[in-house]
Copies of this chain bind each other. A is one copy, B any other.
Amino acid sequence: MNESRLVDREAPIGIFDSGVGGLTVLKEIFKILPFENGVYFGDVGRTPYGGRSKDIITEFTRQDIAFLIEQKVKFIVCACNTASSVALEDIKKDYDIDMIGVIEPGARAAAERTKSGKIGIIGTHATINSNAYAKYIHEIDPDLKVFSLACPLFVPLAEEGYIDKEATYYIAVDYLQTMKDVEVDTLVLGCTHYPLLKHVIGDVMGDDVLLIDSGEETARAARDILSESNLMNPSASQTPCPEGEQKYFVSDVPERFSGVASRFLGREVSRITRVDISRY
C-alpha cells in the first residue's frame, strides 16, 4: 500500500444536508463508524429544500458537493432526502468519487422487511413528488405496493422542538390516517427530521407497523461501501480505536443554530465555520 492510498483512507467522509436534518444521519454514522473523520455541511442559509423546484434543488446540491470535494473528502453522503431523490442521480455521473444518498438504503430495508407487501413512505413535498422511494422499491420487487404521503409540517415541528405536544399528535393523526386505512406494515421515515418525531409517529401507527429510519440504514450502507472499496480509515483496527475528528460547516449561523443542531445530533456541535455557498 503506497502513501497516497493511506492518505485517501484517512480523508474525511463528507456529509451534507439542506440544514440540520442530516445531523440525525451523522448521529447514526458516529455510532457505527466512530473512527472516521467527517466534514458536515448544512445549508441552513437556504433551508428547507423540500418545497422548492427540481432546478433549484439541483443547483444547490451541486454547490454543496463542490464544497465537500474542495475539502478533499474520500466519500460523500447526501443526507438530505429531498436532494437524494430529486438531484443526486444526475449529479453523481459527473464525479469519480463515491456518493450515496438516503433513498436507496431506506427503500432496500423497507422492501426486505415488509411482510404484507404494503409499504408507506412519508417525506417532504419534493421527495414524495419525485417518487424516488417507490422507484427503488419497485426495482427490487415490482409487486410491492407503495403508498406515499407528504407530511411537510413535521419539519418545522421537529425544528421547533414540538415533540411531545398535543398539536403534533393531532397533525400526525391527520397526516397518517390514510396510511392506517391502507394498512401498511412498514413506514419509511423519508425525511431526516422525522426520527425526532418517531415516538409520536409510532404511537399513531401502532406497534404492528415497523418504522424504517433512512438515516440509520444509510449509515450501515456507508460502512459496507467503505469496507468493500477498502476506504475504511486504518485507525479502525487500532485498540483502543481513536475517535475521528468532526468539522461542521454551514451557510448561515442563525442565533438558535447550535441549540437546534445539538438536539438533532444528540451531542454538542462545536467548531462551526460559515461558508459562502453561493460562490461554489
Asked if B254 and A53 make an inter-chain contact with CB atoms under 8 angstroms apart, the answer reads yes
On chain B, the residues within 8 Å of A46 by CB distance are: 46
Stretch of A22-30, A31-39, A162-170, A241-249 on the interface side: A162-170
A181 close to B (CB within 8 Å): no
- A255 contacts the other chain (CB 8 A): yes
A252 within 8 A of B: yes
Given contact pairs A160-B153, A167-B170, A125 touches B255 in the complex (Cβ within 8 A): yes
Query: Does A157 sit at the interface, judged by CB under 8 A?
Result: yes
- The reply to whether B162 and A170 form a contact with Cβ atoms under 8 Å apart is no
Q: How many angstroms from the CA of A44 to the CA of B162 in the assembled complex?
A: 25
In the docked arrangement, what's the CA distance between A112 and B85, Å?
52
Interface mask (A165-182 → B, CB under 8 Å = 1, otherwise 0): 111101100100000000
| The residue from B45, B56, B152, B160 contacting A152, defined by CB atoms under 8 A apart | B160
A162 contacts which chain B residues (CB < 8 A)? 153, 171
Q: Mark A253-266, 1 if CB is under 8 A from B, else 0.
A: 11110000000000
* Shortest distance between the CB of A52 and any CB in chain B (Å): 5
Shortest Cβ gap from A251 to chain B (Å): 8
Q: Verify if A51 is at the interface (C-beta below 8 Å from B).
A: yes
Interface-central residue, A126, A166, A171, A251, by most chain B CB under 10 Å? A171
Please tell me which one of the listed residues B51, B155, B170 contacts residue A165 in the complex, with CB atoms under 8 A apart: B170
Further 17 A-B residue pairs, CB within 8 A, beyond A53-B254, A155-B156, A170-B170: A51-B256, A53-B252, A53-B253, A53-B255, A56-B251, A56-B254, A125-B254, A125-B256, A152-B156, A152-B160, A156-B156, A162-B171, A165-B170, A165-B171, A166-B170, A167-B171, A167-B174
